[in-house]
Amino acid sequence: MPQKGSKVSSTGSHSSFRKTLRGAASPAPPAVRAGLPTRDLPRLLSAYVQEGVYLRLSPRTQEARQSIVGKLVWFLDNEGHAQCGQAEIRAFLTYLATGHQDKGGRWGLAPEGERFCRAPAASTLKTYHTYLRAFFGWCVDQDLVDVHPMARIKPPRVPDVRQQPFTPADLAALEAAAKHTCCPRRDTAILLLLWDTGLRVSECAALTMGDVDIVAKTLLVRHGKGDKERVVSFGLRASRALWEYLRSEKRDWTTAAVRDAEGECARRALFEMAAGHGRRGNLGLTASGTKQMMERLTAMAGITRPRRGCHTLRNTFASSVLRDGMAVQTAQAVLGHTTAAMTYHYAAPDQGDVCAAQRRHSPVDNAKKKGKRGC
């Protein structure tokens, strides 16, 4: 106990306290996980794809997940990267944009198609960015990494280029070409149905006999984009073309079997592949086969512009119905769009209509007319 009047020196106690602070080993902060080992990516991709099964993602989305992330794994292995982080992902996206210049083409697949030797579209680059960002976001949610490796990688800019619809002359040439293919009735029916309903090519390929009611002129789209279901209608010409196709195939679409959703007839593909080797199997025409059919038609019709596939028929439908006065909300429902903005994007006005309207409203010409009236 200190004596009365004596001073208590705090120097020693303070000094010892500071020594204690300096001597106490503070725990080192945990290392921030900003990437993933390349060897773990195939296993994680498998789990990621399996999760999509019970989330009921469309087969197309699942295939895109598998393909895009799988190509990232291929690139990392090919370049010898043991870790996948921000720098490696940037390098992959750069390769995606420039890999067509390599001797073997992009992915080393130049012998399999000239498209691997062409520069990818900006929309393709953005699609890769979107899918990879979703995959690594899933990795963050699963506590596999602490920092999203793509948080600072911006998506590429995609120019807002609206796809021009087919002109009346284009459509007449396509109809004429469809009559001279190996399956004229089938190809004519597909052409008119896509033009008259605005269906996606995948939706058209998925149609079965049970999905179509020729009498009511309606068809049921069971698995649209986002697995959404909707009913669309078609007109008299498309109905007649479809009826002629089914009659040429000797299919009895009026029987009760077609109405039975569980029956074999109802599950039969509406559009089938061409006969081969003297016999016919009930093999449905795939989306890829439908696109190839459209490529043949445009070549026969002499249409050479860059965008001339099945999707252009969807744009043609949207432009036509809106020009004829259909409400945007109605067109949105028919096309299966989530937002009206997407419907407006599809419905690009025909360039000929734009030029004609501009000529009608020419300020110079109209000013001269007004001047004459004033005199």
* 129 pLDDT more than 90: yes
Place of tokens 């390098």: 91
* Residues with Cβ within 8 Å of residue 33, at least 6 apart in sequence: 144, 145, 146, 147
In the prediction, which pLDDT does 57 show?
A: 86
Provide the residue type at 208 as one letter.
T
* 105 pLDDT more than 80: no
What number does CATH give the domain 168-274+281-354? Answer: 1.10.443.10
Tell me what the mean pLDDT of segment 82-100 comes to: 93
Going by pLDDT thresholds of 50, 70 and 90, the confidence category of residue 21 is very low
Tell me what the mean pLDDT of segment 25-32 comes to: 59
CB-hemisphere CA count at 13 Å for 281?
5
Residue whose C-alpha is closest to residue 208's, from 154, 271, 295, 289: 271
As a three-state string, the secondary structure of 80-147 is CCCEECHHHHHHHHHHHHHHHHCCCCHHHCHHHCHHHHCCCCHHHHHHHHHHHHHHHHHHHHCCCCCC
pLDDT tens figures, 237-259: 999 999 999 988 887 665 544 55
Tell me the average pLDDT of the chain: 83
Q: What percent of the chain has pLDDT over 90?
A: 48
- Greater pLDDT, 321 or 110: 321
* 17 pLDDT more than 80: no
Domain boundaries, given as residue ranges, for the chain: 36-141, 168-274+281-354
pLDDT tens figures, 310-335: 999 999 999 899 888 899 899 999 99
Alpha helices in the chain (DSSP H): 11-23, 41-54, 59-79, 86-98, 122-141, 168-178, 184-197, 201-205, 236-248, 256-259, 264-267, 287-301, 310-323, 328-335, 340-346, 351-360, 363-374
Provide the residue type at 254 as one letter.
T
Question: Parallel, antiparallel, or unpaired: how do β-strands 83-84 and 36-37 relate?
Answer: antiparallel
